[in-house]
Amino acid sequence: SILKAGVGLALALSVGIGSAAHAQGKKYTIALIPGLTTDAFYITMNKGAKAAADALGVDLVFQGGPEFSPTTQVPVLDAIIARKPDAILIAPTDVTQLVEPLKKAQDAGIPVITVDTFIGTGKYQTGSGDADFPLSYIASDNVMGGRMAARALADAIGEGGGKVYVSNVKPGISTTDQREEGFKAEMKENHPNITVLETQFNENDANRAASQLQAVYARNSDLKGVFGANLFSAIGAGNGVQQAGQTGNVKVIAFDAPTSIVDNINSGLVDAAIAQHPAEIGYFGVMSAYAHLTGQSIPTAIGTGFTIINKQNVSDPNVAKYVYSD
C-alpha cells in the first residue's frame, strides 16, 4: 500500500542519514576542557566521557590548565578553538570571565556545552542575556549539595549546635558559590542553633585551607565544624583539623570524594563526603554533543546525582564505586 511504501521510504531515509557520518568516514572530535587537569573530579569526568566517546566512535581530546583559573584556562580554550573540534565541553572557571572567550567558539560555529560549572545564570537557550548561548548545562545540583552538606554537619555536631564555617575556593565559580548559598540557606532555615562564621577563601590551595582552619580555630576555640566546599578545600580543612589535634572534635563535611577520603572517613577525621557523579557528567556531556551533531535536540540542562559517603556505608561496593579515580 501507499502507506506502507511511505513508511518504508522514511525508514530507508533515516537509516541512510544516520549512517552517513560513518559511511563518509566522518569522525567527530569533541574537546573536553576541565577546570584544571590534576583534579580527581575532572579525571573521573574524563573517564565517563571516554566511555561514551568509545561507544560512539568519537575522538575525545582532554586538555586543560594546571590551575582552576581563567588565566590558565582561556589560552587552552583559544588553542582548542583554533583546532576546530566539532564540539566543546567545558567547565568554565568563572561565571563572567569565560563568556567572551566562549563566544569566540560560538562565532566559529563550534557548539558549546558546559559541564560542572556554568556561565551567566546557567539558564541556556532562553533568548535573553549574553551568556545563554551554550546548548546545555550538565552538572550536579550544587545548591542542593550545599543543603545536604549543612544537614550532614548539623547531624554530626548534634543538639548543642555551635560555630562552623565554609572553606571555599574563591567567589565567581558557579558550583562552589551555589554550595555555599545552599549550605547557608539550610543552616538559617532549619538549624538556628548553628552560627556560620565568615567564609575562608583558599584559591583551591589545600595548604592554605589547612592554615585557615588553624587560624579560625585559634580565634574560636569553640569551633564545632567546617564544610570544605570542594575537593581541595575539604582535604585542606581536614588536614587543618588534624594538625590542630581536633580530630572528632571539629566535625568535617567534605564535598567531593578523592581516594584519600576513605581513610579520612574510617579514621573519623571526616564525618561524611558528598560525592558527585563526575563520570555521569562526562558521559552525558559527550552523548549530548553527539546527539546535537547528528541532528537530535538535547535538553538545555541535565542534572546528575550525589552519594553521601560515611562510616556506615563506605565499604559497601555500591557506595565505594563513587570514590573518584586518580
Q: Is 256 in the site for ligand T6T (CB under 6 A)?
A: yes
* Residues of span 55-94 touching ligand T6T by CB under 6 A: none
Residues 273-302 that bind ligand T6T (CB under 6 A): 276
By CB under 6 A, residue 177 contacts ligand T6T: no
Verify binding: residue 44, ligand T6T, rule CB under 6 A.
no
Considering the complex, state which of residue 233 and residue 246 has its C-beta at the smaller distance from ligand T6T: 233
> At residue 72, what are phi and psi to the nearest 5 degrees?
-95, -25
308, three cell numbers: 553521601
CB of 90 to ligand T6T, least distance (A): 12
Query: Collapsing DSSP states into helix, strand and coil, what is residue 105?
Result: helix
- Cα gap 264→260, rounded to integer Å: 6
Please identify, among the stretches 6-14, 38-46, 104-112, 183-191, the one whose residues bind ligand T6T according to the rule CB under 6 A. Answer: 38-46
Residue 146 as a binder of ligand T6T (CB under 6 A): the answer is: no
Alpha helix (H) ranges present in the chain? 2-18, 20-23, 40-56, 70-82, 99-107, 142-157, 174-190, 206-219, 231-243, 260-266, 278-293, 317-320
Q: Pick from 28, 35, 200, 253: which binds ligand T6T (CB under 6 A)?
A: 35
Distance CA 170, CA 204 (A): 8
Pairing of strands 272-276, 306-310: antiparallel
Half-sphere exposure of residue 58, counting CA atoms within 13 Å on the CB side? 29
Note whether 39 binds ligand T6T by CB under 6 A: yes
Residue 235 Cβ vs ligand T6T, minimum distance, rounded to whole Å: 9
Considering the complex, state which of residue 102 and residue 223 has its C-beta at the smaller distance from ligand T6T: 102
How near is the Cβ of 259 to ligand T6T at its closest, in Å?
A: 14
# residues near ligand T6T by CB under 6 A: 14
183 binds ligand T6T (CB under 6 A): no
CB of 308 to ligand T6T, least distance (A): 15
Which amino acid is present at 148?
M
**Residue 232 makes contact with ligand T6T by CB under 6 A:** yes
All three cell numbers of 257, joined, read 570524594
Which residue from 36, 34, 33 is spatially nearest to 203, judged by alpha carbons?
36
Instruction: Assess 118 for contact with ligand T6T (CB under 6 A).
Output: no
**What grid cell was written down for 44?**
573521573
C-beta of 115: minimal distance to ligand T6T in Å?
9
Distance of CA 278 to CAs 137, 250, 257, 264, Å? 13, 28, 10, 21
- 238 in contact with ligand T6T (CB under 6 A): no
Binding site for ligand T6T (CB under 6 A): 35, 39, 41-42, 116-117, 173, 175, 230-232, 255-256, 276
